[in-house]
Amino acid sequence: MDQPHEEIPPKIGDLLPAFVVQTTQGKKTLPDDYAGSWVMLFSHPGDFTPVCTTEFYSFARNEQAFQQLNTQLIGLSIDTVFAHMKWMEWIQNNLGIQINFPIIADELGNVAKRLGMIAPERGTTAVRSVFIIDPTGHIRIILNYPAEVGRNTNELLRIIHALQLADGYDVKMPANWPNNELIGDKVILAPPSDVMKVQKRIEEAEAGEVECFDWWFCYKDLPEES
């Protein structure tokens, strides 16, 4: 007897699959309702759990920083919309911060399963997944954390900012940018793909337009952001 076909979760570079979801702010259509914005779609194991509460508190406190990067937040867990709303109320009443972003009530786990957010050894709860989605609906980053380790909000902001600059200036970002141990806050140029471009890169280095360790490892300052 044929086994039921399971869809392979999307990968980096794929379009986010289309979903109509119920959230704490009503029905949403993904990714269409967010066209033109960056999106951080993140799952959590469950409402009224301590690590998740610290994460939501941090995301809410830093929501303005996400907005400055044209990034909207969407949470998700396999809980009801009523549980989400009660938990949001508890956070506001007890921790003094309001959750303004929507949380998907994925009661049947359909979205979490399709996106590969469920670890079989964890039963039916979602792991701490993060999908960074660009304004065209393409998935740019996928991160998965275990239930016992909370996410780093500053790192999430860093990678969104880095992606946006890499796209905008056609460059690559070094490790630990903007505090790389070799080149500080400078950015890396793609290696030349043919001998003519190698010669051009060497000439750019000689003219002081770029800095290089070698022709295949060159870097430069970004223009000042307005």
Residue 52 bears catalytic tag: yes
Dist. CA 3–CA 148, nearest whole Å: 33
Q: Where is 64: in which H helix or E strand?
A: helix 63-68
- From residue 87, alpha-carbon distances to 82, 108, 130, 226 in Å are 9, 19, 21, 39
**Helix, strand and coil in the chain, % to nearest 5:** 30, 25, 40
Which helix (H) or strand (E) element contains residue 142? Answer: strand 139-145
Please state the φ and ψ torsions of residue 142, each to the nearest 5 degrees. -130, 125
Of 52, 73, 99, 126, which one is the catalytic site residue? 52
The token duo for 123 is 């039963």
Q: Beta strands of 146-216 (E only): which ranges?
A: 187-188, 211-214
Element (H, E) at 103: strand 103-105
Residues assigned a catalytic role = 52
